[in-house]
C-alpha cells in the first residue's frame, strides 16, 4: 500500500462512547446520548480547533443531510454560542465533498457529489491546493480511510457513557498502525477531547 506523503492532511473527527461505539444499537440516527456533552467547552473548543485549520469538509450522504440541515440554522440565532456559529459559517462557506451513490444533485452550496471509492477521492483531494480535509463524524467514510491508511490525524471526543452495543469505529481487520498523542483535554461531565497523529 502506498503511504500518503506530502500534500494536505486528512483529519477525521467523531464522538465515541466509553465502549468505543459511535451510535446506539437500536437507532443509529439517535444522537441524544451525545448532546449533553457536545455543548461543553472542551467539545466546542475541540471542534473549533479542527475547522479553523481546514478548508474542505468530506462527508457521507447521511451526515451531510444531518449537518447541512441543522448547522446553517444556527447562524444568526439569538443566544447561539459564538463557537457554534463560527463552525456553522465555516461549514456553509467551505468546499464540501459528499460521497453518495444515490444523490444526483447537491441541494447545498459549494458542494460536489462524488460516487467513487472513498480512498480514491481522499487521495485526489490531497493533491489539490488548500488546508486540511476534515471528515465530520461520517463513520463509513472514516472506516474506509482507516482501512486505506489515508488518515493523518484522528480527533475524538469521548463521552462518559456506555451504549452497550451498536457499531464500533475500529473493526477487526484494520491495518496495524502507530499513532502519537498530540493533544488532550478534559472538561465538564468527564468529556475528553483527544487528537492523535499517524506515525509514518
Task: Give per-residue pLDDT as tens, 17-62.
Answer: 999 999 999 888 888 999 999 999 999 999 999 999 999 999 999 9
Residues 189-198: what's their mean pLDDT? 96
pLDDT of 2 reads 43
In a domain, 136, yes or no: yes
Q: What mean pLDDT value characterizes the chain?
A: 94
- Percent of the residues in the chain that have a pLDDT greater than 70, as a whole number: 97
Cα distance between residue 147 and residue 117, in whole Å? 12
1 pLDDT tier (thresholds 50, 70, 90): very low
In a domain, 1, yes or no: no
Give the domain range for residue 120. Answer: 10-199
Q: Which residues contact 179 (CB under 8 A, 6 or more apart)?
A: 154, 196, 197, 198, 199
Give this prediction's pTM.
Answer: 0.93
pLDDT of 193 reads 97
pLDDT of 5 reads 55
In a domain, 17, yes or no: yes
In a domain, 120, yes or no: yes
Cell 500500500 sits at which residue? Answer: 1
In a domain, 76, yes or no: yes
In a domain, 5, yes or no: no
| Domain total of the chain | 1
Cα distance between residue 15 and residue 192, in whole Å? 10
In a domain, 143, yes or no: yes
Beta-strand runs (E) in 108-189: 111-114, 132-136, 153-159, 178-186
CATH at residue 152 = 3.40.430.10
Amino acid at each position: 500500500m502506498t503511504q500518503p506523503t506530502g500534500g494536505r492532511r486528512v483529519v477525521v473527527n467523531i464522538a465515541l462512547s466509553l465502549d468505543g461505539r459511535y451510535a446506539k444499537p437500536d437507532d443509529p440516527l439517535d444522537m441524544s446520548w451525545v448532546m449533553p456533552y457536545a455543548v461543553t467547552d472542551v467539545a466546542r473548543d475541540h471542534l473549533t480547533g479542527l475547522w479553523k485549520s481546514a478548508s474542505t469538509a468530506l462527508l457521507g450522504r447521511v451526515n451531510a443531510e444531518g449537518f447541512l440541515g441543522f448547522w446553517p440554522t444556527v447562524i444568526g440565532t439569538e443566544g447561539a454560542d459564538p463557537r457554534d456559529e463560527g463552525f456553522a459559517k465555516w461549514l456553509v462557506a467551505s468546499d464540501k465533498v459528499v460521497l453518495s451513490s444515490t444523490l444526483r444533485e447537491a441541494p447545498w452550496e459549494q458542494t460536489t457529489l462524488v460516487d467513487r471509492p472513498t480512498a480514491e477521492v481522499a487521495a485526489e483531494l490531497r493533491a489539490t491546493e488548500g488546508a486540511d480535509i476534515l471528515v465530520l463524524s461520517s463513520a463509513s467514510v472514516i472506516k474506509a480511510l482507516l482501512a486505506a491508511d489515508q488518515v493523518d490525524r484522528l480527533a475524538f471526543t469521548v463521552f462518559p457513557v456506555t451504549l452497550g452495543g451498536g457499531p464500533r469505529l475500529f473493526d477487526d481487520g484494520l491495518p496495524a498502525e502507530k499513532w502519537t498523542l498530540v493533544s488532550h483535554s478534559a472538561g465538564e461531565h468527564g468529556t475528553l477531547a483527544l487528537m492523535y497523529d499517524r506515525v509514518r
